[in-house]
A and B are shown apart, each in its own frame.
Chain A
């Protein structure tokens, strides 16, 4: 398996609290992505990064921020969690963006109560 780890794997949090999810890779891939997966919506891109400190928005970026201070880590922050952000979050990495295959983490199941 590609060296990609998401943490935590499960989290329950209360509405209005900040939450940070971490994606860590050991592959030195340039591109990193955050997705959310909900029934009936497939995978939707939240944010992605094309290098250290270089990020861009995806389809559903409202309510989320990201940071990438080093190649191996890509953090997803929910500044003030809402129940609509209850979802399964996946991180993916790719050496050449959409031009090559991506490798996915195991996912983080987030529940906002």
Chain B
């Protein structure tokens, strides 16, 4: 089974609204990463949050991490049509020396004009 799981699997909102995606994981990590994938393309790194951080911001992105609940959330504020993509969390398992970069199934976000 996969280390990380995103929720929801699909999300459709109106342009200008905020989008929230969640990631839960199973084993201890020292960081959690979020990536975006536009249709037919490779993944692009968005943000990395370390296990000793609770919140991190980058532009319109806000990421939170709760290690006690083994969960993270990605908030995209003031969504735009260009935010339409799939979003993945990556959770390198600490037990394996954080060498493996393991992804969940992703959340497919659609921004409606």
Complex contact B100–A42 (CB within 8 A): no
Q: In the complex, what's the smallest C-beta–C-beta distance from A57 to chain B, in angstroms?
A: 10
The dominant DSSP class at the A interface is strand
Contacts of B48 in A (CB 8 A): 100-101
Q: In whole angstroms, what is the CA distance A59 to B100 when docked? A: 10
Interface presence of A74 (CB below 8 A): no
Instruction: Indicate the size class of the contact surface on chain B.
Output: 20 to 34
Complex contact A48–B99 (CB within 8 A): yes
Complex contact B42–A107 (CB within 8 A): yes
Total interface residues on A, CB under 8 Å, equals 28
Complex contact A90–B43 (CB within 8 A): yes
Contacts of B43 in A (CB 8 A): 43, 90, 92, 102, 104
Which residues of B are interface residues toward A (Cβ below 8 A)? Answer: 2, 6, 30-31, 33, 40-45, 48, 88, 90, 92-93, 97-106
24 residue pairs A–B, Cβ–Cβ below 8 Å: A40-B105, A43-B88, A43-B103, A44-B103, A45-B102, A48-B99, A48-B101, A58-B100, A59-B2, A90-B42, A94-B101, A98-B31, A98-B90, A98-B100, A99-B92, A100-B48, A101-B45, A102-B43, A102-B45, A102-B90, A102-B101, A103-B45, A104-B42, A107-B42
